[in-house]
Amino acid sequence: MDGDARTLWLSRNIVPHEGSIRRIVGSWRLPEGLEAEDIVQESYSKIASLPSVEQIVAPKAYFLQIARSILLMHVRRAKLVSIEVIADLEHLHTADEAPSPETCASDREQLRLLAQAVARMGEPNRSVFVLRMIQGISYKDIGQALGLSENAVQKMLARSLASLALEIGRGRNGIARASNDSGDKACDRQQ
Amino acid sequence: MTMNATMRDNPINERAFEWLVRADGGLSPAEQAELGAWLASDSRHYGAYMRAKAVFNHVGRAKAFAHLPNPDEWPLVVQPGERRTIQPVSAANNDRDDIAPMSRRALLGLASGAVVAGLTVAFFATGQPAEALTFRTRRGEMRDIALTDGTRVALNTESEIRVLFGERLRKVELVGGEALFDVAHEAGRAFVVDAIAFQARAVAASFAIRKIGGVAPQLVVREGAVDLTPANATSLRVSANSRVWVFSGGKVSRHMLTQAELGRELMWREGKIAFEDTPLRYAISAFDRYGSVHIEVDDPAILDHTVTGVFSSDDPMGFAKAVSEVFDLDAVPQGRGIILRKRD
């Protein structure tokens, strides 16, 4: 599997679940100096480096397993670990016990989330987003149109993407009904 | 500045997105090596970068909305509980006539509300061999011109048009600058503005064209419809309440404008400049168009701050003072300019 195929797989199977993944990892008791975001990043790194992901049927659950193994590795390496952390490791939950609405958003719902997030963006960030991501205009030309340096345009888009990432993974109220949709490709099959 | 606070707190994610966007724009071999070193130095960097790539890919699905220039409409086409796929973009769907045009009443309100100073009436006989008539404004000057066919032209600062009316065509060349055309209807004689990068043709419409150095020329249509033909490219119809940027190679980008955005685009008619979350560097260059008082900053980082508000285009000091209040700076006259300095 080449890098682009892996990117596609991550974008379909992990990015939409980021909200609930973060909530679960955020509920874990972590050794001092380790943050939930570190675990999320290292899990992405691990899953992106796997030789194959084709056999993974429940991507979110798999991601959480990886996250758990990364936490264990950090605990083993840490010189000092509090007794609470050790106690918690026994029953670290990696499944979404109270499934949140967005865990199972259909493709269409994901597109709707994205549309809403873009509609809410301020200007000139939204114009930059549309010009680059939709129209494929070069950064130089966008800078010219908006009177910004190429660098400023790139920074603007980078910031917009970073906040969009959080919004599309977070989900919104009203997605719950979508989880009844059949044929949800983006849904973990076991759910 | 509209910025999400949550994304600020993870510098690795922030860096990852910056690298990704830079890579999207193309990296030099040296930058490539720098990125490689950054990715290899920490597995979190690599993970965050892969995540950024996945997010980039995910939001790229918004291309499904390519036929809807105004993102405000996007959520409306993906209604919940309805299994409907987004209509593919059809080449024939260039017209945006389904968007309600601004009412004529609203337009008249605007036109009569504006102060028309120094009205010039251009007389010249039609049917005669066409002779160019040139109108020009100096920096900071604005001018309203009435053409013989009843068309009104408003010229913004440092602008020049050449009027060349013939028997079958009312042609105006926009040599440079910015102009608003309220085109009077005339059966059988189209009105064409030639802006070099593109031509705009209308029967009856109200539209503005801006053509200034270093910026992609733009067309804003506030009423009626304008056929825009980029040099060496096929034409497209642009309906009311939209803005089109014309890029090199005839590439165009069209956006729908809200009434507020349209108002801001044409605020120069009242001697005002409107900013909304505009980076200071751009706001300063906007003032440079209108006068010779240049605003400097002692710290270039300030230039990335954004400003919002309506300012008089002939009062850069007023603008500089307003900016200094917001960002805790001092606006000090220096020579013929103004310098924005960090407050001691």
Q: What is the pLDDT of residues A121-147, one digit of tens each?
A: 887 888 899 989 988 888 988 988 887
CB atoms inside a 10 Å sphere around CB B24: 17
B139 and A CB contact within 8 Å: no
Q: What share of chain A in percent tops pLDDT 70?
A: 73
Rg of the Cα atoms in chain A: 19
Q: Give yes or no for residue B122 having a pLDDT over 70.
A: no
Length of chain A, please? 191
Chain B CB contacts of A155 below 8 Å: 18, 21, 304
Q: Sorting pLDDT into bands at 50, 70 and 90, what band is B79?
A: low
Asked if B62 lies within 8 A of A133 by C-beta distance, the reply is: yes
The least confident of A84-98, B192-206, B208-222 is A84-98
Instruction: Please tell me the predicted confidence (pLDDT) of residue A145.
Output: 83
CA distance A104 to chain B (A): 14
Instruction: Please tell me the predicted confidence (pLDDT) of residue B153.
Output: 95
Average model confidence (pLDDT) across chain A: 78
The Cα–Cα gap between A127 and A117 comes to 14
The Cα–Cα gap between A130 and A124 comes to 10
The least confident of A16-20, A141-145, B3-7 is B3-7
CATH architecture assignment, domain B133-262:
Sandwich (2.60)
Q: Which residues contact A151 (CB under 8 A, 6 or more apart)?
A: none
The domain B271-342 is placed in CATH, from the list 3.55.50.30, 3.30.70.100, 3.30.360.10, 3.30.70.660, at: 3.55.50.30
Q: Sorting pLDDT into bands at 50, 70 and 90, what band is A91?
A: low
A2, A6, A7: which to substitute to probe chain B, counting the most B Cβ within 10 Å? A7
Query: Which whole number is the average pLDDT over B85-109?
Result: 34
Q: Sorting pLDDT into bands at 50, 70 and 90, what band is A98?
A: very low
Specify whether the CB–CB gap between B287 and B139 falls below 8 A: no
Specify whether the CB–CB gap between A147 and A123 falls below 8 A: no
Which residue, B51, B47, B9, is CA-closest to A41?
Answer: B47
Q: Which of B14, B20, B81 is the closest to A177 by Cβ? A: B81
Asked if B21 lies within 8 A of A158 by C-beta distance, the reply is: yes
Residue labelled with tokens 């269409």 = A108
Complex-level ipTM:
0.83
Specify whether the CB–CB gap between B221 and B239 falls below 8 A: yes
What is the DSSP pairing of strand B152-155 with strand B143-146? antiparallel
Q: Give yes or no for residue B225 having a pLDDT over 60.
A: yes
CA distance B14 to chain A (A): 7
B44, B73, B276, B304: which to substitute to probe chain A, counting the most A Cβ within 10 Å? B44
Instruction: Return the higher-pLDDT residue of A84 and A65.
Output: A65
Q: What is the pLDDT of residues B176-213, one digit of tens each?
A: 999 999 999 998 899 999 998 899 999 889 999 999 87
Specify whether the CB–CB gap between B142 and B158 falls below 8 A: no
* Nearest chain B residue to A10, by CA: B54
The Cα–Cα gap between B308 and B276 comes to 4
Average model confidence (pLDDT) across chain B: 81
Q: Which of A118, A144, A150 is the closest to B216 by Cβ? A: A144
The Cα–Cα gap between B255 and B245 comes to 9
CA distance B22 to chain A (A): 7
CA distance B89 to chain A (A): 12
Chain B CB contacts of A63 below 8 Å: none
Q: Give yes or no for residue B338 having a pLDDT over 90.
A: yes
The Cα–Cα gap between B52 and B17 comes to 6
Q: Give yes or no for residue B83 having a pLDDT over 70.
A: no
Query: Which whole number is the average pLDDT over B53-74?
Result: 85
Instruction: Return the higher-pLDDT residue of B161 and A187.
Output: B161
Query: Which whole number is the average pLDDT over A34-54?
Result: 92
The Cα–Cα gap between B68 and B254 comes to 9
At B313, the amino acid letter reads S
The Cα–Cα gap between B215 and A135 comes to 18
Which residue, B144, B171, B139, is CA-closest to B155?
Answer: B144
Instruction: Please tell me the predicted confidence (pLDDT) of residue B121.
Output: 41
A159 and B CB contact within 8 Å: yes
Instruction: Return the higher-pLDDT residue of B219 and A185.
Output: B219
Domain boundaries, chain B: 3-75+98-126, 133-262, 271-342
Q: Which of A118, A139, A177 is the closest to B62 by Cβ? A: A118
Instruction: Tell me whether residue B88 is exposed, middle or buried, using C-beta atoms within 10 angstroms of its C-beta: 0 to 12, 13 to 18, 19 or more.
Output: exposed
Q: Sorting pLDDT into bands at 50, 70 and 90, what band is B15?
A: very high
